Copies of this chain bind each other. A is one copy, B any other.
């Protein structure tokens, strides 16, 4: 069997990865708000440098590693729900600035609180040392996998 060639440590890793794979830890905690909508709100709220300016669609896309048409769609949905506004950019008439409405602010506050609670809880559950260890190893593993792929092509 081919799979007999796998190292026991590697197999353990593989099994955990495959067990974890399909669990959506990043679901939206707010009913009626899709996961991708929550992500966009989070991005707008927590990754802006100048909050009063709002965020460009292309900026959101770049930060989230998603194409602009995808962001446009999500923004449309958030707009329908009254959570964001589109404000024409004064200095570049091709651009639109996305800002949160008061309702949007209220919703992202709830999302953020949930994320805080979840990760504070997780970090405490693991202990700060192991928590840092997990972050470090995950990143290292991720970078390795990404590069293996690139070489493969």
Interface residues of chain A, those whose CB is within 8 Å of chain B, are 2-3, 5-7, 9-23, 25-27, 29, 46, 64-66, 109, 112-113, 115-116, 118-126, 128, 130-135, 137-142, 144-146, 148-149, 152
Contact = CB atoms under 8 A, between A and B. Distances in A.
25 contacts: A2-B112, A2-B116, A3-B46, A5-B113, A6-B115, A6-B119, A10-B131, A11-B119, A12-B131, A12-B135, A14-B119, A16-B142, A17-B25, A17-B138, A19-B142, A20-B138, A20-B139, A22-B66, A23-B145, A122-B145, A126-B137, A126-B144, A133-B137, A134-B134, A137-B137
Contact of A9 (B9, B13, B132): B132
Interface of A is mostly: helix
B29 A152 contact: yes
Given A2-B112, A2-B116, A23-B142, A13 B137 contact: no
